[in-house]
């Protein structure tokens, strides 16, 4: 796999689209400083997805877009495309060639494409994962990276080793597994809460199930009695309806006879109407004929007028045609004269054209001779330019050597100064380490105290969680109780509201008045009063009796209409009263009675109904017991009525009513009071239910907050324990560091003496190279003057050539203009010839139009005479048609009189039919009332038990006892059901559902626990595999590093080591080297060249373990001297047999070793361009 092609557009200094082809082996990129060589490396790094602007030597990512120059505008987009050859199948795709494209806009938007298909950055990262290829892999090594690779911070070293070991995918999988493990543990925590709640719910429902079963037994017995009783009533009403249906059939027979007679009369009348309709049609036809005659007369008048106007227009056209013929003759004569003039002009221009062509040939020959001279001068200037480049390259090599010497000198001076500073720093660090040990001991004591407080907080939170869970359980019990209460109340309310809407228990007359909504009805007395004491409702209903159903009207007139309605319809009796009449009566005064409480004082009513309440209730007194009631009635001198709270009624006439007869159901007033109470109870229960739900939610929130706080406390405890270990480790570390510092100070003094000698040698070499630089600069200035003089001469000749070219172009333009003009004249002659022919044709056409107009005038004058005769005939015909129409109209009026006589006979028979229909309607009303009773019975049984009495089931029970005993048994069963209390019938289904849910939740919890265990095992397995693979790779790199180091340094020692007692996957990697003839020391004390060779040794050691397809070296050879660069190039050529190298360099030896050379220049300031040279047999060809 190799990099095949790089296309850059708008990236940094590459304003124009630039393409670089890469081959196998080594490709070198050269050019002066600042020309944009390193931008090629940045482009490759960027296309692989580099996200750090600093790695691209930029402040922000928009800086990579071409920012413009003085001559060019900035671009709005940068794009880089890299084509990779995948012939060995290293990348996990089936394509032999892969292209990666990255594009960025100034708006901040960016795009990625894989084989020209849009993709994500993550797709590109995944494609190159663990392949040693990418923006952060060891495929790109810059000179600046030597310090970072060999620095004390080992993070970047670890990245190289992990990339070589291929454990990136393991670390990514471990990270994904760890995230999944945390998520699964949270799910397990939630599912545990649900399991606990479901278990509590199942235990609670088990208690409700037993109660529901007992309730169901009583309910089934009640159902059997009530259904059988109501079905017997249903059959009795049905038999009465059958006899009434027979009478209705007799009335229907008589009505059919009358309908037949009426139909006969209507048929006769219809025939007469048909005859009249025929006369009407004849009359319509006659009228239409008259209208058509009128329209024809109008049409003839219009035709005569149109012809008259057409004659006038034709005579005008004849005159106009004569004028057009004269105009055409004049135009033909003028075009013939103009054509002769153009033919003369063509002859003159052809002569002038021949002279211009001769001038063109002369100018062309002169330009060819001048181009030959210019080519000779350009070749001479190019040769001087190539000589100048060779001299510049030689001067660059000397300067590079001088720069290296100065760098080495600066490094040595810096090392000398650094050694002095280090000694002072080490002495300061001794004091700091002693102080740090004291601080760590203080922090260790503080962390111990914080941990003790955290353990106390943990106990408090555990207690809080337990309290909230107990409170939640109590609220769940209250919630279930309220749900049962609401369901029971709504069921009772629905039943009572059904009875009320069907007017169950009302007198038949009262029911009919309310059902038909007679005008002026305010309601019955029970609707208009409200008793404030629930215990008195039954007493009030007992003492008022049927008066509770008294229908209240607004006025006497409305009351009289209701009386007449009940008498005529025979719908039963009803007690009625009007407020108008009550207002005329004297108001009853409500006096306080010392023996009891006046019933009127316990009743509320509307203002306009107070007179009604006074009349009905002001004379009724409620006593505490029967004895008081009887005693008070004997001594009462008025008309008071006394009733005790146990139901004994005592009147002023001495009569006493006592006892408590069994009732099947509550009275009307009690039912209304129950409806109001149930409505109020439901509203109150629902409010309490909402409060309970809110309290439950708050409990859950409080519990979850406590659990979250508990997790945080546990994390803090773990953190505190880690801090304890960390402080203890720090104390041990500082003590070890103090010992190392003292050893280091003892080693530094001999090293400073060696550096002093090395500095003297470097200063002598620098003086020698500076003298060489001065000599080459003088030679460069001389040749630059020659190059500039030659270029000026070429530019002057270019100006002369442009003048010659311009002169030639002017002559050619003159020739071209003459040719165009001659062509245009010839086209004008052809056009004039066509115009003359067209004018002649149009002249002949006008002669023909004139002749046709004269003929049409003669035809129109004849037509006018014929139209006048036809108009007179049509006027005579219209008079005849009007006489026929008047005769038909007289016959039509006679038919209408006969039809009216038959209609009067039919009306008498219809009146008789209406009387019979009214009688039938009376029977139908009674049938309807019975049907309503049947429907109410059916609806009652359906609503209560969902049984249809119209089609009863086969197992319907037969009731053989009398109605009184049935009613008593029903009452007993209802009482038993009442004693059972509120029952949640849904508990039977809820128990099954909740028990099933508990089993499912338990299974889910077990599955999640298994998943947690498996994820733990997977993470441990991944750690083990990654650790094994990393250690194996590390050992191989260690072996290769020793071999490569000794090769590049021609001896010496090298060693890689992992920090002890630390996980290998996290342990820092230390490098210890000793060049030949020197002591073993750290990489920080190496010279610039030694550091570069050490970094190169490490890089090539990684390649030997996991060879990369390509490698980019950005001025890595800059710090190397001539001796070291030879060994570097030798190793580089060896690796180039298997690895593709792209090298940014200034060094001649490296350039000579390259297979392909790209030169980067800036012919236009600020814009980089590429010049490529391919080498044969790896030899540099001089220009």
Query: What is the mean pLDDT, run by run of 10 residues, along the chain of 1183 residues?
Result: 88 91 88 86 89 82 89 91 83 83 90 91 79 63 72 68 72 77 80 79 72 75 78 78 77 77 78 77 79 81 79 78 75 78 77 77 79 79 73 72 78 78 78 79 81 83 84 83 82 76 75 78 81 75 77 83 79 81 67 70 78 76 80 72 80 72 61 81 84 82 82 81 77 77 75 77 79 77 78 80 81 79 79 79 77 79 79 79 78 76 77 75 75 79 78 72 76 75 70 82 84 83 83 88 85 83 79 77 71 82 77 82 82 83 88 88 87 50 33
Rounded (10°) angle between helices 556-569 and 508-516: 120
Boundary residue ending a domain (618, 650, 669): 618
Q: Is 8 helix (H, G, I), strand (E, B) or coil?
A: strand
List, in order, residues 6 or more apart from 835 with CB less than 8 Å away.
331, 335
pTM for the whole structure: 0.37
Tokens representing 314?
């034709």
Boundary residue ending a domain (618, 633, 653): 618
For position 154, what pLDDT does the model report? 61
Enter the DSSP assignment of 547: G
Write phi, then psi, for 395 (nearest 5 degrees).
-65, -35
Give dist(CA 521, CA 502) in Å, integer.
17
Give dist(CA 729, CA 714) in Å, integer.
22
Q: Is 531 helix (H, G, I), strand (E, B) or coil?
A: strand
For position 699, what pLDDT does the model report? 84
Give dist(CA 983, CA 239) in Å, integer.
40
Give dist(CA 237, CA 933) in Å, integer.
8
Burial class of residue 22 in the structure, from the number of CB atoms within 10 Å of its CB (0-12 exposed, 13-18 middle, 19+ buried):
buried
Q: Is residue 387 part of a domain?
A: no
First-to-last C-alpha distance (Å) of the chain? 32
CA atoms in the 13 A half-sphere facing the CB of 680: 6
Answer yes or no: are the C-beta atoms of 41 and 140 closer than 8 Å: yes
Pairing status of strand 1167-1174 against strand 1156-1164: antiparallel
Tokens 């693979």 belong to 1029
Q: Is 115 helix (H, G, I), strand (E, B) or coil?
A: coil
Tokens 């944009």 belong to 36
Give dist(CA 10, CA 559) in Å, integer.
101
Answer yes or no: are the C-beta atoms of 470 and 464 closer than 8 Å: no
Give dist(CA 603, CA 540) in Å, integer.
10
Q: Where are the alpha helices (DSSP H) in 22-167?
A: 37-47, 121-127, 145-149, 155-165
Give dist(CA 718, CA 1023) in Å, integer.
22
Give dist(CA 577, CA 524) in Å, integer.
10
List, in order, residues 6 or more apart from 205 with CB less than 8 Å away.
987, 990, 991, 994
Q: Is residue 588 part of a domain?
A: yes
- Residue 449 burial (CB count, 10 A): 10
Question: Range of 1167's domain?
Answer: 1-139+1143-1183
Give dist(CA 463, CA 452) in Å, integer.
18
Give dist(CA 710, CA 704) in Å, integer.
9
Give dist(CA 166, CA 1026) in Å, integer.
9
Q: Is residue 1180 part of a domain?
A: yes
For position 611, what pLDDT does the model report? 77
Give dist(CA 1003, CA 202) in Å, integer.
16
Q: Is residue 20 part of a domain?
A: yes
Give dist(CA 133, CA 127) in Å, integer.
9
**CA distances for 492 relative to 214, 487, 657, angstroms:** 20, 9, 32
Give dist(CA 331, CA 170) in Å, integer.
99
Q: Is residue 60 part of a domain?
A: yes
Q: Is residue 4 part of a domain?
A: yes
List, in order, residues 6 or more apart from 599 with CB less than 8 Å away.
536, 540, 543, 617, 618, 620, 621, 622
Give dist(CA 955, CA 486) in Å, integer.
34
Nearest in space to 1078 (alpha carbons), one of 763, 756, 750: 750
Report the CATH number at residue 575: 1.20.1060.20
**CA distances for 430 relative to 339, 736, 1082, angstroms:** 117, 11, 20
Burial class of residue 316 in the structure, from the number of CB atoms within 10 Å of its CB (0-12 exposed, 13-18 middle, 19+ buried):
exposed
For the sheet with 1110-1114, list strands across it: 140-142, 1110-1114, 1140-1144, 26-30, 1156-1164, 1167-1174
Tokens 């046709």 belong to 852
- Give kind and range of the element (H or E) at residue 324: helix 168-501
Answer yes or no: are the C-beta atoms of 552 and 523 closer than 8 Å: yes
Report the CATH number at residue 101: 3.40.50.300
- Give kind and range of the element (H or E) at residue 187: helix 168-501
**CA distances for 209 relative to 213, 486, 978, 1169, angstroms:** 6, 18, 17, 90
For position 1182, what pLDDT does the model report? 32
Beta-bridged to residue 85, according to DSSP, are 2, 97
Contacts of range 66-70, beta carbons closer than 8 Å, 24 or more positions apart:
66/10, 66/11, 66/12, 66/13, 66/14, 66/15, 68/1166, 69/15, 69/1164, 69/1165, 69/1166, 69/1167, 70/1165, 70/1166
Q: Is residue 186 part of a domain?
A: no
Answer yes or no: are the C-beta atoms of 1119 and 1089 closer than 8 Å: yes
Boundary residue ending a domain (592, 618, 644): 618
Q: Is the dihedral of CA 393, 397, 398, 402 positive or negative?
A: positive
Give dist(CA 1172, CA 18) in Å, integer.
12
Tokens representing 333?
């004569």
Nearest in space to 538 (alpha carbons), one of 643, 442, 663, 670: 670
Give dist(CA 953, CA 228) in Å, integer.
11
Q: Where are the alpha helices (DSSP H) in 85-167?
A: 121-127, 145-149, 155-165
Beta-strand (E) ranges in 1059-1102? 1069-1074, 1081-1082
Contacts of range 899-906, beta carbons closer than 8 Å, 24 or more positions apart:
899/269, 899/272, 899/273, 899/276, 902/265, 902/268, 902/269, 902/272, 903/269, 905/265, 906/262, 906/265, 906/266, 906/269
Q: Please list, residue by residue across 855-869, b when 16 or more beta carbons sit within 10 angstroms of its beta carbon and e when fewer do.
A: eeeeeeeeeeeeeee
Q: Is 1159 helix (H, G, I), strand (E, B) or coil?
A: strand
Question: Domain tally for the chain?
Answer: 2
Answer yes or no: are the C-beta atoms of 801 and 367 closer than 8 Å: yes
């Amino acid at each position: 796999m190799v990099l095949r092609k790089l296309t850059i557009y708008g990236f940094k200094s590459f304003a124009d689209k630039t393409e670089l082809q890469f081959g196998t082996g080594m490709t070198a990129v050269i050019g002066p400083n600042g020309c944009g060589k390193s931008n090629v490396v940045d482009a490759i790094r960027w296309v692989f997805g580099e996200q750090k602007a600093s790695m691209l030597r930029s402040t922000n990512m928009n800086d990579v877009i071409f920012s413009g120059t003085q001559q060019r505008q900035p671009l709005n987009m940068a794009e880089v495309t890299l084509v990779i050859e995948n012939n060995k199948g290293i990348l996990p795709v089936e394509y032999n060639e892969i292209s990666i494209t990255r594009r960025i806009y100034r708006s901040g938007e960016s795009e990625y494409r894989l084989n020209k298909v849009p993709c994500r950055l993550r797709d590109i990262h995944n494609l190159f994962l663990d392949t040693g290829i990418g923006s952060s892999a060891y495929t790109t090594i810059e000179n600046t990276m030597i310090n970072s690779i060999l620095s004390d911070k080992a993070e970047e070293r670890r990245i190289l080793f992990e990339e070589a070991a291929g454990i990136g995918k393991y670390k990514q999988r471990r990270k994904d597994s760890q995230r999944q493990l945390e998520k699964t543990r949270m799910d397990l925590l939630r599912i545990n809460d649900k399991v606990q709640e479901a278990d509590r719910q199942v235990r609670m429902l088990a208690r409700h199930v037993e109660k529901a079963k007992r309730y169901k037994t009583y309910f089934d017995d009640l159902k059997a009695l009530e259904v059988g009783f109501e079905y017997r009533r249903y059959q009795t009403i049905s038999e009465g309806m059958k006899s009434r249906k027979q009478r209705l059939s007799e009335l229907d027979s008589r009505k059919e006879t009358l309908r037949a007679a009426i139909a006969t009369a209507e048929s006769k009348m219809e025939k007469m109407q048909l005859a009249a309709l025929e006369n009407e049609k004849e009359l319509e036809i006659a009228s239409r004929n008259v209208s058509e005659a009128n329209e024809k007369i109008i049409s003839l008048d219009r035709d005569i007028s149109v012809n008259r106007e057409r004659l006038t227009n034709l005579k005008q056209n004849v005159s106009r045609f004569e004028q057009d013929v004269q105009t055409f003759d004049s135009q033909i004569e003028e075009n013939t004269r103009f054509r002769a003039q153009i033919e003369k002009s063509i002859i003159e221009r052809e002569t002038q054209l021949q002279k211009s062509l001769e001038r063109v040939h002369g100018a062309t020959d002169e330009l060819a001779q001048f181009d030959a001279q210019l080519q000779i001068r350009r070749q001479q200037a190019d040769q001087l330019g190539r000589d100048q480049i060779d001299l510049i390259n030689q001067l660059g090599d000397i300067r590079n050597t001088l720069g290296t010497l100065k760098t080495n000198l600066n490094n040595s001076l810096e090392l000398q100064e650094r050694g002095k500073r280090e000694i002072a720093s080490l002495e300061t660090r001794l004091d700091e380490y002693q102080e740090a040990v004291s601080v760590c001991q203080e922090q260790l004591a503080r962390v111990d105290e914080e941990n003790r407080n955290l353990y106390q907080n943990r106990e408090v939170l555990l207690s809080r969680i337990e309290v909230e869970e107990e409170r939640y359980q109590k609220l769940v019990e209250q919630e279930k109780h309220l749900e049962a209460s609401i369901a029971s109340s709504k069921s009772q309310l629905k039943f009572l509201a059904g009875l009320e809407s069907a007017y169950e228990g009302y007198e038949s007359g009262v029911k009919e008045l309310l059902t038909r909504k007679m005008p002026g009805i305010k309601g019955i007395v029970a609707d208009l009063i409200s008793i404030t004491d629930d215990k008195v409702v039954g007493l009030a209903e007992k003492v008022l009796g049927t008066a509770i159903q008294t229908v209240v009207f607004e006025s006497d007139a409305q009351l009289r209409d209701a009386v007449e309605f009940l008498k005529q319809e025979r719908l039963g009796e009803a007690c009625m009263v009007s407020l108008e009449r009550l207002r005329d009566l004297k108001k009853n005064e409500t006096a306080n009675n010392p023996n009891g409480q006046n019933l009127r004082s316990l009743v509320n009513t509307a203002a306009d109904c107070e007179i009604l309440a006074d009349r009905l209730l002001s004379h009724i007194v409620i006593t505490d017991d029967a004895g008081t009631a009887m005693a008070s009635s004997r001594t009462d001198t008025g008309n008071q009525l006394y009733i005790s709270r146990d139901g004994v009624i005592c009147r002023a006439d001495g009569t006493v009513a006592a006892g408590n007869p069994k009732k099947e159901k509550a009275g009307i007033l009690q039912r209304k009071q129950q409806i109001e109470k149930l409505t109020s109870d439901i509203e109150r229960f629902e409010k309490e239910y909402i409060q309970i739900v809110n309290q439950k939610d708050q409990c859950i929130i409080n519990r979850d907050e406590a659990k979250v706080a508990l997790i945080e406390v546990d994390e803090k405890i773990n953190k505190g324990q880690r801090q304890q270990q960390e402080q203890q480790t720090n104390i041990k570390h500082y003590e070890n560091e103090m010992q190392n510092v003292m050893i280091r100070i003892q080693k530094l003094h001999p090293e400073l003496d060696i550096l002093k000698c090395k500095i003297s040698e470097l200063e002598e070499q620098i003086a020698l190279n500076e003298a060489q630089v001065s000599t080459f600069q003088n030679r460069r200035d001389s040749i630059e003057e020659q190059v500039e003089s030659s270029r000026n001469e070429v530019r002057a000749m270019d100006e002369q050539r442009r003048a010659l070219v311009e002169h030639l172009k002017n002559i050619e333009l003159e020739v071209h203009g003459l040719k165009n003009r001659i062509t245009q004249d010839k086209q004008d002659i052809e056009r004039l010839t066509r115009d003359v022919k067209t004018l002649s044709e149009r002249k002949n056409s006008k002669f023909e139009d004139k002749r046709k107009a004269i003929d049409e005038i003669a035809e129109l004058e004849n037509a006018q005479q014929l139209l006048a005769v036809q108009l007179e005939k049509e006027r005579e015909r219209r008079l005849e048609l009007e006489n026929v129409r008047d005769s038909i109209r007289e016959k039509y009026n006679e038919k209408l009189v006969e039809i009216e006589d038959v209609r009067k006979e039919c009306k008498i028979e219809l009146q008789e039919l209406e009387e019979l229909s009214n009688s039938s309607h009376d029977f139908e009303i009674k049938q309807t009332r019975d049907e309503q009773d049947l429907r109410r019975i059916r609806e009652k049984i359906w609503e209560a038990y969902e049984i249809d009495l119209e089609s009863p089931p086969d197992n319907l029970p037969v009731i053989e006892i009398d109605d009184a005993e049935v009613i008593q048994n029903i009452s007993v069963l209802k009482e038993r059901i009442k004693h059972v209390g509120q029952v949640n019938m849904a508990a039977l289904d809820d128990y099954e559902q909740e028990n099933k849910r508990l089993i499912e939740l338990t299974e889910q919890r077990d599955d999640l626990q298994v998943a947690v265990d498996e994820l733990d095992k997977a993470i441990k397995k991944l750690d083990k595999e990654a650790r094994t693979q990393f250690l194996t790779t590390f050992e191989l790199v260690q072996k290769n590093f020793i071999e490569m180091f000794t090769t590049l340094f021609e001896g010496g020692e090298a060693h890689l080591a992992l920090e002890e007692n630390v996980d290998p996957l996290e342990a820092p990697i230390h490098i210890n080297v000793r060049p030949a003839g020197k002591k073993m020391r750290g990489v920080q004390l190496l010279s610039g060249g030694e550091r570069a060779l050490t970094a190169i040794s490490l890089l090539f050691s990684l390649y030997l373990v996991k060879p990369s397809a390509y490698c980019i070296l950005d001025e890595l050879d800059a710090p190397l001297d001539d001796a070291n660069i030879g060994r570097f190039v030798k190793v580089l050529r060896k690796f180039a047999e298997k690895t593709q190298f792209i090298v940014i360099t200034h060094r001649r030896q490296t350039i000579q070793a390259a297979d392909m050379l790209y030169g980067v220049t800036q012919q236009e300031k600020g814009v980089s361009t590429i010049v490529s040279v391919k080498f044969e047999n790896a030899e540099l060809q001089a220009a």
